[in-house]
C-alpha cells in the first residue's frame, strides 16, 4: 500500500516503492499507529515535501529497504508487543553504520534506553504526550538530523 503526501508504506512481502528526491530520506520501522509512525506522521504534516518517509512494519522489510535505497535517518518504534524490534537494531547498524539510528517508544525505561544505545541507537526517546512537546521534539530532531544529512 502506498500512502500519499510523501510517505511510502510497505506491507509485509516488501515491494519497492519509488523514491523521490527530497532533502531528508527517513526509514521508519514500526506498525501502523506505533510510536515512530505517529511521530513521523506529525513530521510529515509539519515539514511537507522536505522529508520523504518510507514506513515498513516488518524487520525483514527494513533490511530489504536498506539494501535498495539510501536513507539519511533510521527510526525504529519500540513496543512491548513487538520485542523483536530491539533485536533489529544491531542489524540496522551493521547495514548502515554511518546512518543515525533513532528509537522511539510510548514509554521507555532507562534500562531499555541504555539497551537500545548499546545495540546501536544514537538516541532513545519517548513519544511526547502533548502537542507542544511533540512540536518541540520535532523541531529538535529536524535541526539535528537535517544537519547530519
Q: What is the pLDDT along the chain (149 residues), one digit of tens a residue?
A: 233 334 444 444 444 444 444 568 889 999 888 998 888 888 888 777 778 889 999 999 999 999 999 999 999 999 877 778 899 999 999 999 999 999 999 998 999 999 999 999 999 989 888 878 888 888 887 777 665 55
- Give the class (CATH, top level) of 2-10+22-148: alpha beta
Which residue bears the cell 512494519? Answer: 57
Q: Is residue 107 classed as helix, strand or coil in its secondary structure?
A: coil
d(CA 50, CA 57): 23
C-alpha to C-alpha distance for 141 and 44, rounded to whole angstroms: 13
**Residue ranges per domain, the chain?**
2-10+22-148
Is residue 83 within 8 A of residue 56, CB to CB? The reply is no
As a whole number of angstroms, the distance between CA 33 and CA 139 comes to: 21
Amino acid at each position: 500500500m502506498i500512502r500519499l503526501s510523501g510517505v511510502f508504506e510497505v506491507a509485509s512481502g516488501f515491494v519497492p516503492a519509488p523514491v523521490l528526491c527530497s532533502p531528508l530520506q527517513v526509514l521508519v520501522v514500526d506498525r501502523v499507529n506505533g510510536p515512530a509512525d505517529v511521530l513521523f506522521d506529525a513530521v510529515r504534516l509539519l515539514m511537507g515535501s522536505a522529508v520523504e518517509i518510507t514506513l515498513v512494519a516488518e524487520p525483514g522489510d527494513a533490511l530489504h529497504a536498506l539494501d535498495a535505497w539510501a536513507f539519511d535517518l533510521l527510526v525504529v518504534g519500540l513496543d512491548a508487543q513487538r520485542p523483536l524490534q530491539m533485536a533489529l537494531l544491531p542489524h540496522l547498524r551493521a547495514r548502515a553504520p554511518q546512518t543515525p539510528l533513532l528509537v522511539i517508544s510510548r514509554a521507555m525505561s532507562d534500562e531499555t534506553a541504555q539497551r537500545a544505545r548499546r545495540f546501536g541507537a544514537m538516541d532513545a526517546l519517548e513519544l511526547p504526550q502533548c502537542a507542544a512537546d511533540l512540536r518541540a521534539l520535532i523541531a529538535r530532531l529536524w535541526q539535528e538530523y537535517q544537519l547530519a544529512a
